Amino acid sequence: MADLPHKATEIATGTARAAGDVLAARPVTHLCAAVLGGPPAFRRTLHVGQPNMPDQKAFLKRMQHILDSGRLTNWGPMVQEFESRVAGIAGAKHCIVTNNATTGLELAIAGMGMSGDVIVPSFTFVATVHALWRQGVRPVFCDIDPVRHCLDVACVEAAITSRTTGILGVHLWGNSCASDALRDLARRHDLKLLFDAAHAFGCQPGRPDGAYLGDAAVYSFHATKCVHAFEGGAIVTDDDDLAARLRLMVNFGFAGEDVVTYLGTNAKMSEASAAMGLTSLESMHLFFDHNRENYTAYAAGLADVPGVELMPRSANRVHNFQYVVTAIDPEQAGLSRDELVAALRLENVFARRYFYPGCHRMQPYAGLSPRAGQTLPVTEAVADRVMILPTGMALSARDVARVCARIAAIVQHAPKVRAALRHCTDPRLPDFARAADTAAGPH
């Protein structure tokens, strides 16, 4: 601990100089954090999930083509091309694209015949669980492993009952869920296996893994995801029958001009979205490489910051590095995760606490498993500590170094930061950090 302030100072000055900051010439004081009265690290705001912009010319050319052709939607040529590209990248036999991943999950759940209970992690984006509930399926929450934040196989096995019809795993942060083990478990108990792969587009697990896509997997092409289509999703599967069913279900269940054979919906992707998807795909490896460079810069910049731990590089062969995941140890950092997130807002760095507080504490699931608090200890601990940092094309490695320098400075001055936050009324503070302020109330 003794040499810590020195190291943090080095990081702060080194970065400031690299970024051409005038502050570099001055000795580093407590003013190197905005919450303590210094200037913010950035004039613009850095967000998690800022859209990666693809080549505008290529996109506009596709849009011109769409407008000239008059074909706007209903499984047009752009959508068909996008589907075959996505299937190729996923290594799946079939791909059915959808208007977003949430409807994709709902359709997969219905199309696979999931009912009764399905085992799902609580530590995921709430859409994973909403998709089950909206299909009349009861989510049974299982804990995660503390390293990769994916379903803990032993917990899944222990949770299987006669009502269980399937497992909905999440390849969280692009890490591969324990797919092999889950597939074996699913086979032994005759369960369906679906993966929410919203974070994992383009990722390839560490070794060839036939179970990675389960019976089906769903990607998201939402604007905040690494590769996007404004809004969009895709279901990939090797199952011919399931694919045929889903193909009808995305289009109201129409099997002919007036023949409806399934309960379907309108989950079609438009040609405009597919045009964005195709253009975004063309830059996919550029995005991945850029994210990897940012990740490396985060690893260097946070290496000596106590209590701020970067999730190690995953064992994936290919990784999109879409999320920069850190865990904050409040004892070592001297600040809670929430305090650090709040202090960073004043730097115009909008770090986020994903997926707090866990779906089991959100509606309508909060009353569902009253003991979930005790049965999900890892979920609860992880949800209290995880902080996601901005990355993507909107940030350079130099920006990342500057973010890290500010984190180092904030941690270095933790007691002062904590005191300053107590009196801070800056509107950029997240609502959870303004609680004391609201309690005082407008008089």
Ligand X SMILES: *Cc1c(COP(=O)(O)O)cnc(C)c1O
* Of positions 94, 149, 183, 199, contacts ligand X by CB under 6 A: 199
d(Cα 229, Cα 234) in Å, to the nearest integer?
11
Rule CB under 6 A: say whether 280 interacts with ligand X.
no
> Max Cα separation, the chain?
77
Q: How far is the CB of 112 from ligand X (least distance, A)?
A: 17
Closest CB to ligand X among residues 192, 222: 222
**By CB under 6 A, is residue 222 in contact with ligand X?**
yes
Q: Minimum distance between the CB of residue 396 and ligand X, rounded to whole angstroms? A: 25
Please tell me what DSSP assigns to residue 417.
Answer: H
Residue with tokens 């130099």: 398
Place of tokens 């007036």: 258
Size of the residue set binding ligand X (CB under 6 A): 14
| CA 36 remoteness from chain centre | 31
The 3-state DSSP class for residue 110 equals helix
CB 139 within 8 A of CB 281: no
Q: Which is nearer to ligand X, 194 or 297 (CB)?
A: 194
Window of 70-78, 98-106, 241-249, 373-381 that interacts with ligand X by CB under 6 A? 98-106
Closer of 194 and 408 to ligand X (Cβ): 194
Stretch that binds ligand X, among 96-104, 242-250, 340-348, 389-397 (CB under 6 A): 96-104
247 near ligand X (CB under 6 A): no
Q: Does residue 128 belong to the site contacting ligand X (CB under 6 A)? A: yes
Pick one of 102, 314, 316, 322: the residue that binds ligand X (CB under 6 A).
Answer: 102
Other C-beta atoms lying within 10 Å of the C-beta of residue 1: 6
Q: Is 198 in the site for ligand X (CB under 6 A)?
A: yes
Residues from 138 through 197 that contact ligand X (CB under 6 A): 170, 196
**Which of 42, 75, 125, 356 touches ligand X (CB under 6 A)?**
125
The binder of ligand X chosen from 86, 127, 159, 411 (CB under 6 A): 127
| CA separation, residue 89 to residues 85, 92, 318 (Å) | 6, 8, 11
Considering beta carbons, is residue 174 or 307 the nearer one to ligand X?
A: 174
Among 205, 233, 277, 392, binds ligand X (CB under 6 A): 233
Ramachandran region, residue 174 (left: φ > 0; alpha: ψ -120 to 50; beta: rest): left
Tell me the three state secondary structure of residue 187. helix
Q: What is the DSSP letter of 357?
A: T
Q: Does 124 bind ligand X (CB under 6 A)?
A: yes
Comparing CB distances to ligand X, the nearer of 100 and 412 is 100
CB nearer to ligand X: pick between 117 and 231: 231
Cα separation, 156 vs 166, whole angstroms: 10
E strands, 143-280, in order: 164-170, 192-196, 216-220, 233-237
CA–CA dist 95, 91 (Å, integer): 10
Site residues (vs ligand X, CB under 6 A): 100-102, 124-125, 127-128, 170, 196, 198-199, 220, 222, 233
